[in-house]
Amino acid sequence: MLLQVQQVTRRFGAETLFADVNMDIPDNGRVALVGRNGAGKSTLIRIIAGIDAPDKGQIVTRKKLTLGYLAQDTGLDSNKSIWEEMASVFAALQAQEDQLHELEAQMSDPDIIADPDQFEQVTTTYDRIQSDFKANNGYGYRAEIRGVLHGFGFNEPDYDRSVNELSGGQKTQLALAKLLLEKRDLLILDEPTNHLDVETLTWLEGTSGLTRARC
Ligand SMILES: Nc1ncnc2c1ncn2[C@@H]1O[C@H](COP(=O)(O)OP(=O)(O)OP(=O)(O)O)[C@@H](O)[C@H]1O
Ligand SMILES: [Mg+2]
């Protein structure tokens, strides 16, 4: 079980929006919340995502659950380029990559080569970082970014475009792309498909296990 909604109630003033809601999100589950406009879907979703507190009841999650949330009608807001935004998910890998390059430079430095102890130390550090880098898909993360961006219709010529010059729909797509790259345990998306065409939806369903249901 990833998450459980237990007897959750939300009131606004004297109005009860919903009362005693129970819901389970099982491992690998896909749950769609369907209701008329104003029914309280976004309000419940914000409670589930931990952004708002319920008036009564509680949300119980699996230990160390990582959760991604995309609010209704929002998108990525950034001065960075599309590529920089996506690559920022892999900042730790990029830092390791810089370290590896630095160590490579040291390994070809004649002074270090001439000193067996120092050379040994540099190569040992290099091996350790490289094996970690490899295990975390260090050699594959760029391909991963390209794959996800391609799924949303962004290709090489778009990579350097600034996020803040894109349309609202494109910003939503990029927020979703970033969430997919972050690989959270649970994604909570409030009407994410409003800005997606059928082709993108079909790709997304295959990629991430999302259903086409509105939520
Ligand atoms: N902070 C608030 N104070 C008072 N009323 C609120 C507040 N937030 C939401 N509401 C009311 O709660 C109701 C449910 O809103 P909510 O946004 O959860 O609906 P929804 O089901 O997501 O609708 P939609 O399909 O249009 O997105 C609405 O009537 C809204 O006006
Ligand atoms: Mg809503």
Question: Model confidence over 102-139: pLDDT tens digits?
Answer: 999 999 999 999 999 999 999 999 999 999 999 999 99
Q: Is the CB of 35 under 6 A from ligand 1?
A: yes
Indicate whether 178 belongs to any domain: no
Do 101 and 141 sit in the same domain of this protein?
Answer: yes
What does the pLDDT read at residue 192? 84
Q: Which residue has the higher pLDDT, 199 or 126?
A: 126
Judge if 51 and 6 occupy the same domain.
Answer: yes
DSSP codes, the chain: --EEEEEEEEEETTEEEEEEEEEEE-TT--------TTSSHHHHHHHHTTSS--SEEEEEE-TT--EEEE-TT-----SSBHHHHHHGGGHHHHHHHHHHHHHHHHHT-HHHHT-HHHHHHHHHHHHHHHHHHHHTTTTTHHHHHHHHHHHTT--GGGTTSBGGGS-HHHHHHHHHHHHHHHT-SEEEESSGGGG--HHHHHHHHHHH---S---
What CATH number should be reported for the domain holding residue 53? 3.40.50.300
Residue 4 domain-assigned? yes
Q: Provide, rounded to the nearest whole percent, the portion of the chain with pLDDT above 90.
A: 86
1 plus 69 within the same structural domain: yes
Residue 169 counted as domain residue: no
Instruction: Please tell me whether residues 45 and 70 are part of one structural domain.
Output: yes
Is the domain of 32 the same as that of 56? yes
Could you report how far apart the first and last alpha carbons of the chain are, in Å? 20
Q: Clarify whether residues 89 and 65 are in a common domain.
A: no
Query: For the chain, what is the domain count?
Result: 2
Q: Are 107 and 130 in the same domain? A: yes
The verdict on 114 and 62 lying in the same domain is no
Q: Which residues are close to ligand 2, an ion, with C-beta < 5 A? A: 41-42, 72
Indicate the range of 46-50, 165-169, 193-197 predicted with least confidence. 193-197
Please check the confidence at residue 208 and state whether its pLDDT lies above 70.
Answer: no
Does 36 reside within a domain? yes
Query: How many C-beta atoms lie closer than 10 Å to residue 113's C-beta?
Result: 13
The confidence score (pLDDT) of residue 199 equals 84
Q: Is the CB of 28 under 6 A from ligand 1?
A: no
Distance (Å) from CA 8 to ligand 1 centroid: 16
Claim to verify: residue 188 and residue 151 sit in the same structural domain: no
How do strand 3-12 and strand 15-25 relate by DSSP bridges? antiparallel
Q: Are 93 and 138 in contact (CB under 8 A)?
A: yes
Residue 173 lies in a domain: no
Pocket test for ligand 1, best of 42, 55, 190 (most atoms within 8 A of CB): 42
Query: Looking at residue 134, what is its pLDDT?
Result: 97
Q: Kindly state whether residue 170 falls inside one of the protein's structural domains.
A: no
Range of the domain at 89: 82-161
Nearest atom within ligand 1 for CA of residue 43: 18
12 CB less than 6 Å from ligand 1?
yes
User: Could you tell me if 107 and 151 lie in one domain?
Assistant: yes
Residue 24 within any structural domain of the chain: yes
**Is the pLDDT score of 165 beyond 80?**
yes
Place of tokens 């959270």: 184
Q: Are residues 71 and 88 in the same domain?
A: no
Instruction: Verify that 68 and 87 share a domain, yes or no.
Output: no
Q: Which of 8, 12, 48, 215 to mutate to test the pocket of ligand 1 (most atoms within 8 A of CB)?
A: 12
Q: pLDDT digits over 171-188, tens only?
A: 999 999 999 999 999 999
Residue 6 lies in a domain: yes
Q: Which ligand is nearest to the CA of 47?
A: 1
pTM assigned to the model:
0.86
